[in-house]
Chain A
Amino acid sequence: MAPRINSLAIAAIFLGAVLGLNGCKKEAPPPPPPPPPAAAPKVEAPPPAPPAVSVANITLGKAIGSDKKVTATTDTFAKTDTIYAAVETTGSGNAEIKAKWTFHKGDKVADVSESMETVVATGPAVTSFKISKPSGWPPGDYQVDISLGGKSAGVKKFSVK
Chain B
Amino acid sequence: MAEEEKMPDFSDVQSGTESTAEIVYEVKSGDTLSKIAKQYYGDANAYMTIFEANTDILKNPNLIHPGQKLRIPPK
Contact = CB atoms under 8 A, between A and B. Distances in A.
A115 interface: yes
A125 B7 contact: no
B19 interface: yes
Interface in A33-80: 64, 67-68
A120 B12 contact: no
A92 B15 CA distance: 26
B5 A108 contact: yes
Contacts of B21: 89, 119-122, 125, 127
B2 interface: no
A130 B19 CA distance: 11
Interface string A105-147: 1101011110101111110011111111111001010000000
Given A105-B5, A110-B7, A119-B22, A133 B12 contact: yes
Interface in B20-46: 20-25
B6 to A, nearest CB: 10
